[in-house]
Amino acid sequence: MDIPPVVSNPLIEKKSLFVPTLDEVAKVLQDGLKSNFAQVEVKVVDCPDLTQKPFTLACKGLGGNPSVVEVGGVPYLLPLVKREKLYDFKDVARWSEINPAFIIGACAGPWPYAGVNCEMMANLSVSGNDVDNHTRIAKINTNDDSCILEILPNTETRIALLANLFLSEGKPGKVLQVHCKTRTGNDDFIASIRKTLQDHYKEKAVGLGGTFVLKEAKAKQHIMPDFSTVRLNSDQDVENWLHFYNQSPPLVAVGTLVSADPGLDLRVQHFHSFSHHGEGGHYHIDTEPASADYLGYFALGEQVVRIDRPVETHDFGRD
């Protein structure tokens, strides 16, 4: 199969996000998350060194030009794949005008490298053409349906189809520390944060990115199989196509959320998680709410950068 070149001249749209103080957001979350978790502690702290375990991210902090960046979208995957939608992280950093760039988030992995469609947990630093890549991909072992998790080499910096990324200069700084235990509501960790912000900030779009570790509880996660050759036209079609797993903790997730869409056809939340025991995928929700223990570090994005927004769009397949 011919491998297309990466997209070189996409439409790039930028908008400011609403940026409340971290102290205010901490108070809003401290009050709101109690409707979904028995124990909630939200604080403003100096970002811990995220290169250390369990996070093992490519840079220490989330500071410096913090930006929510969405590339492509689900309409490039469904109803049928558009294989020409390949991008390079180095270009994404350049288009976002962030250098050096610490890039984390949830994406479709580079099928030309993996040999198949796959999940990606972006985690790398890019400075010009210098790359320090800790990005992982998760794909399905077709022999026994198990998960294959691997780290990409510095030379592989492509993304396929869609990406929800948080870019910063990786500097230290103040962040939100969100610690929630014992889930009592029906929302996943990220949805509970997003809905709390949405209730408070209404049409003002607040964007967050960062990382969280799920300790103790297992989680429902999916891995995409190879591209469907038949059209997938609905959420039900997509659910039948995806492969779902009940993966073990600790799981380290990376991604973004926005409380409202400022007219850019954004995916409002998207986190993928990896582990140090061979499992990874697209985070849906913990499956053991009584023992769920989430610890997250998040920064507020100051801008949203929308790259190569699909012209023909739809709203299924975004869960």
Q: Measured between alpha carbons, how far is 206 from 194 in angstroms, rounded to an integer?
A: 9
Cβ 121 to Zn ion shortest distance, Å: 10
Residue closer to Zn ion, measured from CB, 86 or 242: 242
Residue closer to Zn ion, measured from CB, 29 or 71: 71
* DSSP 8-state class, residue 177: E
Please identify, among the stretches 62-70, 124-132, 261-269, 276-284, the one whose residues bind Zn ion according to the rule CB under 5 A.
276-284
Q: Measured between alpha carbons, how far is 226 from 64 in angstroms, rounded to an integer?
A: 37
Cβ 49 to Zn ion shortest distance, Å: 27
Using Cβ positions, the residue closest to Zn ion within the complex turns out to be 282
Omega before residue 249 within 30° of 0, cis: no
Contact between 139 and Zn ion by CB under 5 A: the answer reads no
Residue closer to Zn ion, measured from CB, 181 or 282: 282
Residue 184 sits at the vertex; the CA angle it makes with 180 and 188, to the nearest 5 degrees, is: 65
3-state secondary structure string across 259-315: CCCCCCCCCCEEEEEECCCCCEEEEEEECCHHHCEEEEEEEECCEEEEECCCCCCCC
Cβ 238 to Zn ion shortest distance, Å: 11
Residue closer to Zn ion, measured from CB, 125 or 269: 269
C-alpha torsion sign, points 205, 210, 214, 218: positive
Reading the block at residue 170, the tokens are: 């990786």
Residue closer to Zn ion, measured from CB, 195 or 282: 282
Cβ partners under 8 Å of residue 94, min gap 6: none
Residue closer to Zn ion, measured from CB, 32 or 255: 255
Q: Measured between alpha carbons, how far is 144 from 90 in angstroms, rounded to an integer?
A: 35
Please identify, among the stretches 19-27, 90-98, 277-285, 304-312, the one whose residues bind Zn ion according to the rule CB under 5 A.
277-285
What is the total count of residues that contact Zn ion (CB under 5 A)?
A: 2
Taking CB under 5 A as the rule, which mask of x and - marks residues 95-124 in contact with Zn ion? Answer: -----------x------------------
Q: Which residue shows structure tokens 């053991």? A: 288
Reading the block at residue 118, the tokens are: 């796959």
Contact between 282 and Zn ion by CB under 5 A: the answer reads yes
Cβ 315 to Zn ion shortest distance, Å: 16
Binding to Zn ion (CB under 5 A) within 42-101 occurs at: none
Cβ 282 to Zn ion shortest distance, Å: 3
Contact between 284 and Zn ion by CB under 5 A: the answer reads no
Instruction: Please check whether residue 187 is in contact with residue 195, taking contact to mean a CB–CB distance below 8 angstroms.
Output: yes
Residue closer to Zn ion, measured from CB, 32 or 317: 317
Question: Which residues lie near Zn ion (CB under 5 A)?
Answer: 106, 282
